[in-house]
Amino acid sequence: MSILKSSVLSFLCVLLIAAILSPPGLSSEKVPVSPEDATRIKRSYNARISPDGSLIAYTVYSQREAGDEPGSGYRELYLVSTETGEVRPFITGKVNVSSPRFSPEGSRLAFLMKRGEGAKRQVWMIPVDGGESVPVTDFDTGVYMFRWHPSGDSIAFVATEPKSETEEELEEKGYRFIYFEENLKDRNIHICEAALGGDPAEPRQITEDKVVWDFQFSPGGKRIAAAISPMNLVDHQYMFKDIHLVDMETGEVEALTDHSGKLGNFAFSPDGGRIAYAASLELKDHAVSQAYLVDAGGGEPVNLTPTGFRGHITSVGWKDRKTVAYTAAEGVWNTLNTVRTDGKRRTRVLDGKEIGLVFRTPDYTDDFKHFALVCSSPGIPGDIFYWKYGEDRPERMTEFNPWIEERKLGKQEVIRYQARDGLEIEGILVYPVDYDSKEKYPLIVSVHGGPESHYTNGWLGSYFNPGHVLAGKGYLAFYPNYRASTGYGTEFALEGYEDAAGREFDDIADGIDFLAEKGLADRERVGLGGGSYGGFASAWFASYYTEYVNAVCMFVGISDLVSKRGTTDIPWEELYVHSGRKLDASWDMWEFSIKRSPIYYARQSETAVLILGGTADTRVHPSQSLEFYRRLKMNDHPAVRLVRYPGEGHGNRKQPGRIDVLHRHLQWYDWYVMDNNPLDGPMPPLLIEDDYGLELDEKE
């Protein structure tokens, strides 16, 4: 053998050995996103900028690992310099930190956290330069939310009033009776000194016999604007809040607004003379959609929303004393805008579509020059960005998931199609990895809940219907913003009013037809899933529209509109913004509700039905899942399975339930959609090895 041949062979052997020994992360070959990847995604949900714009405080969420003690995910606290990009860990480990807020002078950072076994959530504080965190509050029932006083000397907070001594004694004796929606506790504002040393100061109560959900200080700190409802019920939080003015010294409370419908955030003008607030257009408007302005001394509110605006204003603030700033959802993107208080000179300041990023409400400095944003895109789950007013685009400050660069993602694009009545519907499509235009692909439709919600063109990857995992498995993943979604104006949103499971779900069926007719989707292999109202759609497609889908995954979904009204914790919200009429108003309403319920059509189902939900769900009672299961089984349905998650509510918080939902619904799709197994054949195995992270015996 020649020396050259010997050298070449030696070199090839070295390459082969290197390839075998190289860690997977170092390989140049990209791989699709796996279900396991979906469980380790880190992202941020809030970011706060310091008063001088030099620092951003943010939290990072990560789900607990499968083998960890069951519980909700961890949230760690970090700081990043907008000048150098240096990241500083502040509170890390197995912690749950939320709502970071800089002090007015910027030297301290306050946040909410539980620390210690059985501890309640309290306000904590830490110097920005570093040091030990100290508790600011020690309230018996824990703290719901807080704000810094403009002086920086104190912190005001909202907390539920504690039980009386008599109530405590009765509980100890076993008299733990539940007086349903009676004997409710108020939620009042308290204020205490914000000192870095010593024990928490004794708080002073500001309001009495009130139910406060949010508040803001006036610029001088002498008054508070507070969102107050008559009763401490989630239904009242949704529908019956109004802005009240509170005198800090006397505690006197005076109503400022008398709004019919939903109330969003609000803010004093820099001179304290006016208040901007976000709210619904009218009582039946199912979401916050408008920007209003009212004099702080009282008077008639003025609507600053553009006439015919095809979007939803989601939050408001101020640029200066003559200019209101607002964030809006416009289709699958978000925008930041300003408008003069006289309604003139409307300006788009930041456009998500132009920068290719989806952002929520930004936090900004008082001079409107420095912005902290949490941004998402088809390749970014949710990182921290910094934007200086006037610059072309925000600067990315973090990369929580660098491993995504090693993953092969399916192409994601915004699509539009015509519904059967000619109305244009928008949605998002994620193509299978290695898509071939000559092929037709199995389709999974993911239906959002609400319906007062919508999909944005960001990262599509939760534990339920994760777009990139589906794409990696060879599915076409479709996310429709059907009629009644937000982001397209109040007229579009009201299309679902008094028409449950009507045109809104017809839009989804029309989307399936569109994708099949375009030659993208294989009409013989279609699955559909959703949670809450999306779970309602799942049940509807498993029954009324059963010819459209092979399999559905119904998560915390609705099956019976009659019993749902009597078991939900938001009956007034349901009445005012969805059904429009009381059930006992006439027989027509009973008949309508029954005929728009999936249980009514269960007898005709030819769809494999996986039903998932928590046992402690107060929004959509677990009986909704049971009713649908029973109706299907009593009609001899061969492929229906109900899995319940003990202690979980309207969606799973703890990682065992999240991991199970992820693997189980993917297994269901693979079985009945990808592999197209017959409905009357065996169902998928009950236990999923990947689900539990355990080595299971075959017999198990």
Q: Answer yes or no: is pLDDT of 20 > 60.
A: no
Give the pLDDT score at 585. 67
Residues ≥6 apart with Cβ < 8 Å to 559:
536, 539, 597, 598, 599, 624, 625, 627, 628, 631
Asked which of 233, 255, 277 is the last residue of a domain, the reply is 255
pLDDT in tens, 141-176: 999 999 999 999 999 999 999 999 999 999 999 999
Residue 609 lies in a domain: yes
Q: Residue 23 above 90 pLDDT?
A: no
- Tell me the CA distances in angstroms from 637 to 120, 267, 617, 623, one per residue in order: 47, 55, 26, 19
- Tell me how far apart the alpha carbons of residues 121 and 262 are, in angstroms, rounded to a whole number: 27
Residue 236: inside a domain, yes or no?
Answer: yes
Report pLDDT digits (tens) over 270-280: 999 999 999 99
Please compute the mean of the pLDDT values over residues 219-238 and round it to a whole number. Answer: 97
Provide the pLDDT confidence category of residue 694 given band limits of 50, 70 and 90. low
Quote the pLDDT of residue 17. Answer: 34
Examine the pLDDT at 586 and tell me if it is beyond 90: no
Q: Is residue 646 within 8 Å of residue 615, measured between CB atoms?
A: yes
Instruction: Give the mean pLDDT of the chain.
Output: 93
Q: Which residue has the tokens 């949230």?
A: 75
- Residue 155 in any domain: the answer is yes
CA-nearest of 285, 154, 280 to 217 is: 154
Position 3 pLDDT exceeds 60: no
> With pLDDT > 90 as the criterion, what percentage of the chain qualifies?
90
Let me know if residue 24 belongs to a domain.
no
Q: Give the burial class of 86: count Cβ atoms within 10 A of its Cβ; 0-12 exposed, 13-18 middle, 19 or more buried.
A: exposed
Element containing residue 573 per DSSP (H, E): helix 571-574
SS3 content of the chain, % helix, strand, coil (to 5): 25, 30, 45
Per-residue pLDDT, 195? 86
CA distance 700 to 374: 44
Has residue 542 been placed in a domain?
yes
The residue whose two tokens read 């290719």 is 356
Is residue 106 exposed (0-12), middle (13-18) or buried (19+ Cβ within 10 Å)? Answer: middle
Residue 182: give its domain's CATH number: 2.120.10.30
96 DSSP assignment:
B
Residues contacting 213, CB < 8 A, separation 6+? 158, 187, 227, 228, 229, 237, 241
CB atoms within 10 A of CB 249: 8
Containing domain of residue 247, as a range?
A: 137-255
CA distance 396 to 387: 9
Mean pLDDT of 308-317: 97
Our count of domains for the chain comes to 2
Write out pLDDT tens, residues 445-501: 999 999 999 999 999 988 998 999 999 999 999 999 999 999 999 999 999 999 999
Q: What is the DSSP string of 8-67?
A: HHHHHHHHHHHHHHS-GGG-SS-EEPPHHHHHS--B-S-EEE-TTSSEEEEEEEEPPPTT
Q: Is 396 helix (H, G, I), strand (E, B) or coil?
A: strand
**In residues, how long is the chain?**
700
CATH number at residue 523: 3.40.50.1820
Residue 465 is assigned to a structural domain of this protein: yes
Place of tokens 């299907």: 632
The CA distance from 569 to 631, in Å, is 24
Which is it for the CA torsion 342, 343, 348, 349, positive or negative?
positive
How many Cα atoms within 13 Å fall on the side-chain side of residue 406? 11
DSSP symbol at 362: P
Greatest Cα pair distance, the chain, in angstroms, is 99
pLDDT tens for each residue of 357-395: 999 899 999 999 999 999 999 999 999 999 999 999 999
Per the listing, tokens 């998932």 go with 612
Enumerate residues 6+ apart whose C-beta is below 8 A from 29. Answer: none
Taking the C-alpha atoms of residue 684 and residue 671, their distance in angstroms, rounded to an integer, is 7
Residue ranges of the alpha helices (H) in 363-465?
none
CA-to-CA distance for 192 and 629, rounded, in angstroms?
Answer: 52
State yes or no: pLDDT of 8 exceeds 70.
Answer: no
Closest CA to 558 of 616, 617, 645, 606: 617
Among 205, 237, 255, residue at a domain's last position: 255
Helix (H, G, I), strand (E, B) or coil at 309: coil
Mean pLDDT over 95-118 rounds to 94
Instruction: Please list, residue by residue across 188-208, b when 16 or more beta carbons sit within 10 angstroms of its beta carbon and e when fewer do.
Output: bbbbbebeeeeebbebeebbe
pLDDT > 60? residue 295: yes
End of a domain among 222, 239, 255? 255
* Three-state DSSP state, 183: coil
588 lies in a domain?
A: yes
**By mean pLDDT, which of 44-53, 112-121, 285-294, 491-500 is the weakest?**
112-121
Query: For residue 480, what are the contacts with CB-CB under 8 A and spacing of at least 6?
Result: 425, 426, 427, 445, 447, 455, 507, 508, 511
What secondary structure letter does DSSP report for 298? -
Would you say residue 499 lies in a domain?
A: yes
